[in-house]
Amino acid sequence: MLDFGFSEILLTSAIALVVLGPERLPKVARQVGTWVGRARVMARQLTEQLEREVNADELMKQRTKAATPPSTPASTPTAADPTAATNYPDPLPPTPMTPAPVPPPPVPRTPHPNSPAAMHAATPPAPPTSPPAATSDKPANE
């Protein structure tokens, strides 16, 4: 994959020391180390998951191959022997017939008290307004 010799690592370290300085170099090296560690863990998990998928696929193929009865010319039923068709074993066990579960009725949803729909629905009617007071032509401060 990536092959680094001692001279390449030494040259890269010297350039990093000059560019980053002695204060920031340990922090950057630590961050790079954690990123590389995370990448390795993710690659290992991906590899394991792919292997599990391949193994599960092969297992399913083996089960389907074992579940199908081998057909031989001597064991095939003929029209002269009507009972021969009932002597075959069923490759899959019978499943009990159960009715499908009925979903519960939907629960009525109420809007959140602070939602605009709830605020507009819950606004009390406006109080009746009193008729305006009679105004006179005289100013109020006289």
Helix (H, G, I), strand (E, B) or coil at 50: helix
pLDDT tens profile 106-122? 877 777 777 777 777 65
Q: Give the confidence band of 48 by pLDDT, cuts at 50, 70, 90.
A: very high
Tokens of 3: 């092959």
Instruction: Classify 21 in phi/psi space as left (phi over 0), alpha (psi -120 to 50) or beta.
Output: left
Task: Compute the Cα dihedral for 89, 90, 92, 96 and give only its sign.
Answer: negative
> Residue 114: enclosing H or E segment and its boundaries?
none
Neighbours of 84 (CB within 10 A): 13
Of all residues in the chain, the percent with pLDDT exceeding 90 is: 25
